[in-house]
Chain A
Amino acid sequence: MLDDIQASRPPVPGAAQSQKTKLRVIQRFLHRLSLVHSRVEILFKFKSIDYTYHHTFGGKAEARVSGMDQAIVMDSTRYGLCPFSRGPLPSCSRLHPVLGERVELSLSSEAVETGLCGEISFVPMATLGPCMAQYPNWPTRLSRIRVFVYGPCKMPLMRAAGEEPMSFLRKLAASLSWTELGLSGVHYTELQPNEDYPYADIEFLVETDVHPEREPEGSTVIRQEPKPECNHAIEQSITLFFLLQHNDPFQSQLSDFITSEEVLERHLDRLLWLNREKVQASLQSVLQNTLMSYKKRQMAKRKMQSALSVMLNSMTSVVSSSSSARFRTACLDYMRVQDTHELSASLRQSFQRITDSRFVPSCGCRAGKIEEGVNFHQNGSGTREDLVLKRAHQRGQTSCGSKKQCSEKTNVTPSSYCPSTSRMTIFLMQPSQSQHSHLGNTTPSSSSSGTSEFENEQVEKEWLQEIENIPEWD
């Protein structure tokens, strides 16, 4: 099915701003729509006096999530975001949604009186992105939590300009046990425009721990200079979906559905408050599951820092106390330093850089194409990104599907300049499969660890087993 909506209007003085505002509203709506209806390809073209905008939403099914009345198909490649700001580094651009438990919502008497009947439920779903499973040691920081609310027809609930977010959502900052989730706390923030990411219903800033790498007692952790660490730490965010469902067996007409959706939207905040305990518990649970990998990663990071500190101290101790001039000179020469003090700093930096840039090709996460990786030798060697590229190539990383950028903006060109008309074209293409309610049970799981990770875990297990088996304990 193909719909073509054309809007041609004569130029009105002062209307440019209004057009831009409308464009943004439509963009946001389509962005959010395509996030959960990715099989629907939406060709959106906007042409005004000043510029032309052309964008294709959806059309690619990556992550299928079932377990609800209707399975949703997410175009995860579009909104997973590339974790790295520079360089064609291989990365997993997919979202890995975690589905929460369905919560039956009790209806308030006011809602029933206004005609809202049947069963209303809510299913939370969350993802942590960008996926960093292939970079197990790369510093990460959870910075934001974005919340999106979708109605029973999986249409985004849009707020009017200037309208405050639902009070229930705003109070989540105080009502959820963030410390149990391993976070110091979160607080509500004004929405930040992000061209790559759909406009959320509400956004929270995550308080980052000032000293995330707590030193284990009895060991000295490598003192990381804060600036470089912050500079290359990848900011991750949680995207939390509120997916509402409504089932009324007495409704059959489209108009009934639309009316119910409108009523639900009006009463949603009150409904959520009425069922706050169940809703909050469900949200807590889904966030707990989503943050599991993040917490493991933080623990592993602390473990690594502790180990690196011991390695570094041990090596510098041997080199410093060695009476072999040959050995000491060899160490200094290899690290290209003048004295043992410099050697210590150099070893620390090398250890940290090499550790951070560990690349694990994961079978669960598809890496994006490395397009220009061959240039890593020439492009300022020594950075973590260069090391990643080097390792990816060393491990025979091959293209597993090209990564698409989130938006394609067409720059203004003289030929496209059209002062007399503004033309907006929306193509809606709906494949026959798009309305299938059962799309299989292939709920995407969080990214599995790579083969190398598995092998190292095996090594650890074997070692522990070995220790148990060795009888010669004196």
Chain B
Amino acid sequence: MSEQFDEVDKLRDELLQNLPPLVNSLAHYGDQDVLQRIEKVMLEVVVRLSKEETPVLVLQNRSSWANVIFDRNIGLLMKPNVCVTTLRSDCPSSARRFALILKVMSTVYKLIQSDSYATKRDIYYNDPQLYGSQQLVDSVVDDISCMLQVPRRSLHVLATSKGFISGDLCYLEEDGTRVDCISNSTAVSVSSNVSGIKNIVSSAKFVLVVEKDATFQRLLDDNFTTKLFPCIIITGKGVPDVNSRLMVRKLWDTLHIPTFALVDADPHGIEIMCIYKYGSVSMAFEAQSLAVPSLLWLGLLPSDIQRLKVPEKALISLTQTDERKLNSLRNRPYVTCQPAWEKEMEILRNCGWKAEIQALESVAPNFLTTVYLPNKLRYGGWI
């Protein structure tokens, strides 16, 4: 059984030898520091009002690729001098956003003062008519986090996690609750307070990041974590939330074991994998704590579709949207430094087919857990 992980162990040694220098992520700022930062913003508004000038808020643009740079060891990082968006308080088109930022900031101020925490959903339901949508609150919280240069956790704002985790892992929550992922027959929700997790205990050989919840559940049903014990599997259920990404990063920082991705062989799957590996443009200001650049692509590789002779009826034609997404991915800065990934994308484009992980079922029942993944791990079939 030990041969099973020879290649994984070798990979781990290799990764440990090439560990990049530790980069400081947005540290957990002290409450007093965050309060002072909020006061500074408020005071600037007061100063402008006292000068009879229109109050403005300057936000870093979190949606432009022009505002990020790629660092092989970190992922997508926000540039030091980025394009900014100036919000005026006296313009109907920007006044609402301006007002909501101040409103959430005052809520954060009270939370910190009372040393209490709230989820973004709590904030939304505090005045749903004012906010209009949960998405708006999420965006405003991230804007504030970016503007004050503090992680969301330091704002005393939590988010309900959507991710699940299972495998050889035990840890303590910040409040002292012991979480044992291995003894649970079902998966455990990813903590809402990842930064507060301590005493992580695991002898896992690797972490497998699974794109979809359906595949994750299938792995649980097939006792994957037992068959390939010891390992950890985690899913962010599609596009990952911040907590799932924080958790993957936390496991890497703590355990320094290889992290693999199991995603569909389609542009969307590749993009999700890139978010785990390199981060996203919108959260580039917090890339250091969210991305795991050492993550490797285990499957489903487009070349596997050809190699395993997956029946055509299990494949889906690439749509125009897929092709556009694929071209967009190939132009991204981080893909150019991954020749093997580029090659797989080329295969995907040339064959004109895409495949979901479930397509392996058409090769043989339980093919994924009994043949595909064990062999991939045994023979180092990652890129």
Contacts and interface: CB of A to CB of B under 8 A. Distances in A.
Interface of A: 136-137, 216-219, 300, 303-304, 306-311, 313-315, 317-319, 321-324, 327, 330-331, 334-336, 347, 350-351, 353-355, 358, 381-382, 387, 390, 452-453, 456-457, 459-460, 462-463, 465-467, 469-474
A368 B159 CA distance: 54
Contacts of B221: none
B120 interface: yes
B202 interface: no
Contact of B49 (A321, A335, A459, A467): A335
Interface stretch (B89-97, B174-182, B347-355): B89-97
A213 to B, nearest CB: 13
A300 B128 CA distance: 21
Contact of B39 (A318, A462, A463): A318
Interface string B223-241: 0000000000000000111
A474 B162 CA distance: 7
A212 B179 CA distance: 58
Interface string B68-98: 0000000000000000010111111111111
A306 B159 CA distance: 28
B50 A136 contact: no
7 contacts: A136-B92, A311-B98, A315-B45, A318-B42, A354-B90, A453-B93, A470-B139
A470 B102 contact: no
Contacts, number: 188
A474 B290 CA distance: 14
Nearest to A358: B90
- Across the A-B interface, give the 9 residue pairs with the lowest CB-CB distance, nearest first: A218-B129, A474-B159, A307-B95, A310-B99, A314-B102, A300-B92, A314-B106, A466-B63, A307-B99
Interface of B: 35-36, 38-39, 42-43, 45-47, 49-50, 52-55, 61-63, 85, 87-100, 102-103, 105-106, 109-110, 113, 120, 127-130, 134-136, 138-139, 142, 159-162, 239-243, 245, 275, 280, 282-283
A311 B98 CA distance: 8
A347 B46 contact: yes
A327 B43 CA distance: 8
B273 to A, nearest CB: 13
Contacts of B245: 472
Given A355-B89, A474-B159, 16 more contacts: A218-B127, A311-B98, A314-B103, A315-B42, A315-B106, A317-B110, A322-B39, A324-B36, A330-B43, A347-B46, A353-B52, A354-B55, A466-B62, A470-B142, A472-B245, A473-B135
A473 B191 CA distance: 16
B305 to A, nearest CB: 26
Contacts of A471: 239-240, 275, 280, 282
A4 B35 CA distance: 80
B59 to A, nearest CB: 9
A474 B243 contact: yes
Given A311-B89, A314-B105, A304 B42 contact: no
Nearest to B42: A318
Contact of A351 (B89, B94, B135, B159): B89
Nearest to B120: A474
Contacts of A303: 92, 95-96
Given A324-B35, A358-B54, A473-B138, A457 B63 contact: no
B269 to A, nearest CB: 14
A459 B92 CA distance: 11
B35 A472 contact: no
Given A318-B38, A472-B282, A456 B242 contact: no
Given A311-B89, A314-B106, A322-B39, A467 B275 contact: no
A392 to B, nearest CB: 14
B3 to A, nearest CB: 39
B52 A331 contact: no
Contacts of B39: 318, 322, 324, 327
Contacts of A300: 92
B282 A469 contact: yes
Contacts of B36: 324
Nearest to A469: B63
Contact of A137 (B90, B96, B102, B127): B90
Contacts of A350: 49-50, 52
B109 A321 contact: yes
Contacts of B135: 467, 470, 473
Contact of B42 (A219, A307, A319, A335): A319
B50 A463 contact: no
B46 A331 contact: yes
A318 B102 CA distance: 9
A307 B101 CA distance: 11
